[in-house]
Structure 1
Amino acid sequence: MDETALNELIDRFFAAFVSGPDCEERLDALPELFIPQAVIVRTCGSEPLAYTVDEFIAPRRALLTEGTLTDFHEWPLDGRLEVFGDIAHWYGAYAKEGKQDGVAFTGRGMKTVQFVRTAAGWRISAAAWDDEREGLAMP
């Protein structure tokens, strides 16, 4: 049961980042997936940048809705989910593709997502990611 709920949460997290119809609605629902104090961290070869939930969503909303990023989506690949009591962790690969200013691109990386069980159900407490780049490739 926990694994099913957590996998659904992971799917909802990735599904939020799809351009096109219903994008605004998915992004509006995204904060429900997190505890209010959650932290999201981007590394990607530079100094880590930590976001609050709102700080994380705002620039992605702009990218996904302003029209320069089209046909975009990202999705989980292989991952490992571990659950112990009221905490859980997903570590896995993901892929993304789209068009930026009309130019097609693809990418892959790794994400780590931590979860806690709340009175309202499982929520994301932290997430971090790193993307492939020169000198760092997924096996």
Structure 2
Amino acid sequence: MDTATNAILDDLVAAFYTAFTNKDGMKPNVAIIYQLFIPEGMIIKNTDAAPVVYSLQQFIEPREKLLTDGALVDFEEAETSSVTEIFGNIAHRFSLYRKSGVLSGERFETEGMKTMQFIYTPNGWRFCSVAWNDEKSGVTIPEKYRNR
């Protein structure tokens, strides 16, 4: 394992998750996603029957509004374990996360998995894509990711 590269990827992932936090009065910084990704990056929500594929702009703008207009408060999302593989100028991470908050007055807490792909660019390591699915009935987190 390339420990220097792994540390850089750890930092990118931490910045990604923190970008959405508005817990304890923290101001979300969703726009940092533009710096973490290549310009052509995509983010995919695959929690329902059909995936929803977002460009960076399509993903950032509604979340910025949601996290700052009072609809979603006390929100925090954090990685709880991961598996990262690096091969030359490409890398992949399977990330187990937990998220919680209050959406439209209703408290929630859930876990899920994100698959994250990275490439090495002239400006360093960047995300090229992220896709996620939340745990729900019939879709449970494999134990091997809980025990890391």
The residue aligned with 2:94 is 91
Query: Secondary structure in 1 aligned to 2:49?
Result: coil
Post-superposition offset of 1:27:
1.6
Aligned length: 137
Q: 1:47 aligns with which of 41, 50, 65?
A: 50
Map 1:28-43 → 2, pairs under 5 A? 28-43=31-46
CA distance in 2, matches of 1:81, 1:138: 17
The residue aligned with 2:63 is 60
Identity over aligned pairs, percent: 38
Post-superposition offset of 1:122:
0.5
1:13 aligns with 2:16: yes
1:106 aligns with 2:109: yes
Determine if contact 2:31/2:60 at 8 Å carries over to the other structure.
no
CA distance in 1, matches of 2:101, 2:68: 13
Amino acid at match of 1:14: Y
Determine if contact 2:21/2:76 at 8 Å carries over to the other structure.
yes
Determine if contact 2:101/2:109 at 8 Å carries over to the other structure.
yes
CA distance in 1, matches of 2:43, 2:60: 10
Structure 1 outlier segments of 4+, above 4 Å: none
Q: 1:82 aligns with which of 85, 95, 99?
A: 85
CA distance in 2, matches of 1:114, 1:27: 19
TM-score, structure 1 length as denominator?
0.93
